[in-house]
Homo-oligomer: A and B are copies of this chain.
Amino acid sequence: MLHFECDYLMGAHPKLLERLVETNMEALSGYGSDHHTDTAKEKIRTAIGCPEAEVHFLVGGTQTNRIVIDSMLHSYEGVIAATTGHVSVHEAGAIEASGHKVLTLPGKDGKLEADTVRQYIRRFYSDPSYTHMVFPGMVYISHPTEYGTLYTRSELEALSAVCREFQIPLYLDGARLGYGLMSETTDVTIRDIARLCDVFYIGGTKVGALCGEAVVFPKGNAPKHLFTIIKQNGALLAKGRLTAVQFDTLFTDDLYFKISAHAIAMAAKLKTLFREKGYAFFLDSPTNQQFIILENSKLAQMQEYVRFEFWEPVDAGHSAVRFCTSWATTDADLQALATYL
């Protein structure tokens, strides 16, 4: 069976495991007070060019979204997100469970547009009954989006400007950040993100780690006592080394970027394979998630040999499906896939 159904199929990139093994018998103090945590944070600060950034390591994406959003919003505020945003759909109501409405706006291929956000907020404040409504308190975007698409630098600048205008934070969910940064078509660097966002996270789980996301407050603007908030949410690791050693390794010798680039190269090859065989694409994704249109009979036939994700029906006879590459995808995987197309 070939596997292209997601980008978290394998364990960790071998170098991460190797370092966990090497450091395993060091006696380290708990809760992120160890030296690996310090160096991992420092390497991230260097990579993003923000010496004053605050970095916290959390375990997974939903946990991170819930804690970041809840800790930065007032009780009367909600978070603006695209209708297709992960927080709107696939986090089991985690944001609402922490007390906040997700204020959904229509996006385009998973992306929120600055004008849509501006108009929404303007309309909000011009509504005579706005004090009876949920205040827009933050903008949430994912980059890459759930559709593998990317914001351009100017789109991010526009969103950042709206947030500045209304003095609310811009939050970027970077569950697959590496794959976005290494896309051949992007003009967005991690330093742009650090400059334009108030908070973002660098995804580990989908980019080579066993678990772990690094939340970054680039301006040192983390909510007061975030450590205790993390603890209260049950998100504090006793053995902080687990995430710290992994992020330290990912940010040593640009490993995070190199393995992301590999996944992108594999995605480009996969794209070529499908294109050469005449398949149509559901949308044009520049990252490691590729959305292809299959005839339903072909889909059924391929499922015997290859795992991929059903995305949505296109018409009576066709469906959109998703193929993911990752740091672990090999040329052999692609060659085997080619034989089934």
Contacts and interface: CB of A to CB of B under 8 A. Distances in A.
Contacts of A283: none
A24 interface: yes
A198 to B, nearest CB: 19
Contact of A133 (B23, B90, B128): B90
A231 B3 contact: no
A39 interface: no
Instruction: Report the copy number of this chain in the oligomer.
Output: 4
A101 B89 CA distance: 11
Contact of A14 (B24, B93, B134): B24
A81 to B, nearest CB: 12
Contacts of A98: 99
A225 interface: yes
A200 B200 CA distance: 36
A76 B228 contact: yes
A92 B27 contact: no
Interface string A50-80: 0000000001111111110011001110100
Interface in A190-205: 205
A78 B91 CA distance: 13
Contacts of A310: 128
A17 B14 contact: no
A300 to B, nearest CB: 16
A76 B92 contact: yes
Interface in A204-238: 205-206, 210-211, 224-225, 227-229, 231-238
Given A91-B132, A231-B91, A71 B75 contact: yes
B92 A96 contact: no
Interface residues on A, range: 35 or more
Given A76-B228, A237-B60, A238-B205, A90 B27 contact: no
Nearest to A104: B104
Contact of A27 (B9, B24, B74): B9
Interface in A90-137: 90-94, 96-102, 128-129, 131-135
Nearest to A232: B92
Nearest to A11: B24
Q: 7 tightest CB-CB pairs across the interface, nearest first?
A: A63-B234, A11-B24, A93-B134, A92-B232, A92-B231, A3-B27, A9-B27
Given A6-B30, A93-B134, A96-B96, 14 more contacts: A10-B24, A10-B25, A10-B28, A11-B26, A17-B17, A17-B21, A78-B96, A89-B133, A90-B129, A92-B133, A92-B228, A94-B231, A96-B100, A97-B232
